[in-house]
Each structure stands twice: as structure tokens, then as C-alpha cells.
Amino acid sequence: MELASPGLWAVLAATAATFQVMRNALARHLSGRVSTALTSWARFAWNLPFSGALVAFLLLTRGAPDLSWTFFLWCGATAASQLLANLALIEAFRSASFSQSIALHKLEVVVGALLGITIFAEYPSALGWVGVVVSTVGVFLINPSGPGAAWRQRLRLDRGALLALLCAVLLAFAGFVLKEAVVELVRSNPRMGSGRFEAAAHTVFHTTWIEVVALSLAIAWREPGAFRHVAREARLMAGVGFASFCGSLCWFWAYSLALVAYVRAVGQIEAVLSVLISLYIFRESETRRQIPGIAVVTLGICLVLLG
């Protein structure tokens, strides 16, 4: 496929990663006050007012687009992939160490590159491949590590590791199917042009409401009393939802402009930002040993951009 200028999609990927760090920080605080399921619900349900407002503005100024059943099938596949990936990661946290789960699910970048060349006809350049692998190695270095035994423990394929790898596959797959949704919408509405912002906005909205419906039904069935906490935590949930909306819009838009593997590789800057926040805001000095990993991730991102 023809790639857009690195200036736009790379900035979008880095911005998406920044909002993801913000969302995770807020969600971590929220998770101490409500259930895991309701925390996940807040990410999507409080995204909906923001994505809905943007779509309403686009409908007023640009008119209603033609929405095909194929588009909704791709949105449904995106929603299912993201929800199942989230569930797999939560289960991985219960079965394996946090560092093992995080490190293995971050293999989504490499998995995405493999899915791209085998199924979706996306072929990174040789230098791009090197950047994808190097950035992934950097994430492994950033995550807490210890002696050789710790590395062997992290890479052992037990139930937790397999769930984390399943999460990686599902997240990588979600990147491709949401991209197909955007492409399908542009195909049905040529007026949207090559910029694809409008198509990305509509795709975020329709994917999100599908996720909200599915999660709301699941929580109403499994945790019928959970929603009574929504009013009490509305302000914090709104923060989670806004960060989620901004991140999702940037991810969706970036995916539509470049190879999925490239976008995810640049998005690895999320790990760097998390460490920097720990180091300079929370004054967690033990994170200084993660600086070599930061350097490796940065090198990988540079190679992807050059590739």
C-alpha cells in the first residue's frame, strides 16, 4: 500500500500512545474504587459522549455518510477483538506475573507485522522490520527484569503466558479490522478523501457503541449492582472516557494512513512515557535502570520512520 507522509501518521501514533498512558493512569486509580468490569465499561461508555458529539458535528457540517453492512461487520469484528483482548489480558494478570504479561502482550507489534504479510498484504521494508523488532526488544528491556531465571520465567509458555500472547494476537488483529472498516467507509463515500479523519471518527463512534452495548449487557448479567457506582465516580470515569476517545481517534486515523506494524511500533513510545512519568513525576528512582530500554525503543522507532 502507499504510505502517507511519516509526519502525520507518526505524530498520530505518538499522540495516541500519550493519551493511552493518561487513560491507563486514570483507569488504574478508578480500578481501586470499582470492579475491573466497570473500569473497562467506563473506558468505552464515557468515550461515547465525546465520539458522539464529534459525529453529530460531522453530520451537521458534512452530511450523513453511506454506511454499508460490510462496514458494520468490520466495526463488530473490531469491537469483539478489543473486548476479548482486554479479557485475555486481565486473565493473564491473574495467572502470570505482571511483567511477564505486559512483555508478552507487547509482542503485538511483531504479531501485527506477521499478520500483515500473511493475511492483509502489508509488507514492511527491511529497515522497517528491524525497527519493529528493535522497538519490541526495548519494551522487554523496559519491563522489570532480573537475573537469567527471571527471563526464563517470563518467557515460559504457561497458561498466563498463552493468554498474554492471545491478547497480542487479538490486539494486532483489531488493528487490521478497524483499518478495513475505515477503508470500507471511504470506499462507500469517496468524498471523504485520502485524509480519512471523517472516516476514522465515524468508525470510532460505531465501534464504541457496539462495545458499550456488549459490555453493558455482560455487566448487567454478571454484576447487576455495579452500575450504582457510576454517579459517584462520574468525574473520574469522564476523564478515562475522554482520554480513551482521543487515543482511539488517533489510533484509528493513524492505522488508516500507514502499515499497522509501523503505527504500533511508533506507539511503543507509550512504554517510554510510562517510565518517564514514574521517574520525574512520581520520583521512583529505581526506574533509572530502564533507561537502556528507553534508548532501544527510541532507536527502533527511528528505524521504523526511516524504513
Residue 221 to residues 34, 35, 208, 214, 218: CA-CA distances in angstroms?
Answer: 17, 14, 20, 11, 5
Half-sphere exposure of 301 (CA within 13 A, CB side): 24
Cα 134 from Cα 301, distance rounded (Å):
8
Q: What's residue 146's pLDDT? A: 45
Which residue in the block uniquely carries the three cell numbers 478495513? 180
Q: Which three cell numbers stand for residue 68?
A: 454499508
Give the pLDDT score at 147. 43
pLDDT at 31: 77
Mean pLDDT computed over 14-42 = 85
- The two most distant CA atoms of the chain are separated, in Å, by 60
Is pLDDT above 60 for 271?
yes
Checking if the pLDDT of 59 tops 80, the result is yes
Q: How far apart are CA 209 and CA 28, in angstroms?
A: 23
85-136 tens-digit pLDDT: 887 877 776 666 555 666 666 777 787 788 878 777 777 778 877 887 887 7
Task: Report the pLDDT value the prediction gives residue 200, as an integer from 0 to 100.
Answer: 94
Q: Is the pLDDT of residue 240 over 70?
A: yes
Cell representation of residue 223:
454484576
Q: How far apart are CA 94 and CA 101, in angstroms?
A: 10
The single residue listed with the C-alpha cell 459522549 is: 49
Least confident window among 60-69, 82-91, 235-244, 268-277: 268-277
Which pLDDT score, from 0 to 100, does residue 11 have? 92
User: What is d(CA 122, CA 113) in angstroms, rounded to the nearest whole number?
Assistant: 8
User: Which has the closest alpha carbon to 87: 32, 16, 36, 21?
Assistant: 36
Query: Would you place residue 148 in the very low, low, confident or very high pLDDT band (cuts 50, 70, 90)?
Result: very low
Q: How far is CA 174 from CA 59, 112, 240, 274, in A?
A: 26, 10, 21, 23
What is the chain's mean pLDDT, rounded?
82
Please report, rounded to a whole number, the percentage of residues in the chain having pLDDT higher than 70.
Answer: 82
* Residue 246, φ and ψ in degrees, nearest 5: -60, -45
pLDDT at 4: 47
Selected residue with higher pLDDT from 172 and 89? 172
- pLDDT grade, residue 158 (50/70/90)? low
Mean pLDDT across the stretch 142-157? 52
Better pLDDT: 86 or 245: 245
Which one is predicted more confidently, 225 or 304? 225
Judged by phi (left if over 0) then psi (alpha if -120 to 50, else beta), residue 23 lies in alpha
- Nearest CA-CA partner of 262 in 2, 9, 8: 9
C-alpha cell at position 71:
462496514
Q: How far is CA 128 from CA 113, 303, 307, in A?
A: 10, 6, 4
Find the mean pLDDT for residues 173-192. 91
Record the pTM: 0.84
Model confidence at 1, in pLDDT bands (50, 70, 90)? very low
> Domain residues of the chain, as ranges?
6-306
CA–CA dist 145, 281 (Å, integer): 22
Percent of the chain with pLDDT over 90: 37
The C-alpha cell at 173 is 488483529
Question: Can you give the pLDDT at residue 306?
Answer: 72
Query: Which pLDDT band, with edges at 50, 70 and 90, does 3 fall under?
Result: very low
